[in-house]
Structure 1
């Protein structure tokens, strides 16, 4: 759906009367929210992150009117856009904010039990499926219980969010 909306905005991307900064704001306001809808519940693997990065680069290249035949690097495109935070970092930030929201909820509710709970028994043989809590552990470098203790304090969670999403590329 986000790809369709990007293609639907082709007249804006081609319009030379609209500044690049305005086009970037339009991309951030109209396309990327569609692409990241519900991302706080995603369990992302390496392949998923690669697809998100590819989509983001495709969008920026459409905006800048850079053909794949021009052999411009992603670094060149990011420098042209002035992009400080990529889409994967935004997804991680949204996921951590949602985790903090769940961790701060009062009482026993279903979301908190699922996020922090431990199911007895063994997992199936073979490569394990990626769980949402595994993503939190990967992003923060902390186990879920420790991260939920930090999340009780909003300022502590904001420190974790800024530290965790700053080093990604």
Structure 2
């Protein structure tokens, strides 16, 4: 009940590590409340996750982001999402490091998990790949 509410539109989030850490902290607090285990009981988070047979919120965000990417890639090239994906903004940039963008995060995930962009065109195969990502440890 809680994860769908928390993860609403997470396929568009370019999450920072600090965002993921905050979400994981909140998730573990909720799971501890559900399992009626306090930190004083000294039960490890991995044991709580294993006993409740859940997928971490970090993994769920990753899968949602890649699912949204696959959906966008299967749309026609004149679709606004595909136009924005290939958009190059001209002009001066602000000083400092540029803000993290959704496309950068998706490309990093594709590279990290050694995925093929062409697999997004086959909806069934892409779903199988995402299902495998949810069961993968680490």
TM-score tier by shorter-chain length is: 0.7 to 0.9
CA distance in 1: counterparts of 2:75 and 2:103, whole angstroms: 17
TM-score by length of 2: 0.81
Q: Deviations over 1:30-83 (max 9, x none)?
A: 211110011111110111111111111111101011112222221221232133
Q: Within 5 A, what are the aligned runs for 1:13-162?
A: 30-83=1-54, 85-121=55-91, 123-141=93-111, 148-158=117-127, 160-162=129-131
The answer for unaligned runs of 5 or more in structure 2 is: none
Q: Deviations over 1:130-153 (max 9, x none)?
A: 1000110122117xxx96533222
> Would you say the 8 A contact 1:40–1:94 is kept in 2?
yes
CA distance in 1: counterparts of 2:68 and 2:46, whole angstroms: 30
Aligned length: 136
- Mean Cα deviation higher: 116-125 or 55-64: 116-125
The answer for unaligned runs of 5 or more in structure 1 is: 1-29
- Mean Cα deviation higher: 112-121 or 89-98: 112-121
Which of 1 and 2 has greater Rg?
A: 1
Alpha-carbon distance change, 148 to 117 in structure 1, aligned in 2, over 3 angstroms: farther
Alpha-carbon distance change, 41 to 99 in structure 1, aligned in 2, over 3 angstroms: same
> Would you say the 8 A contact 1:140–1:160 is kept in 2?
no
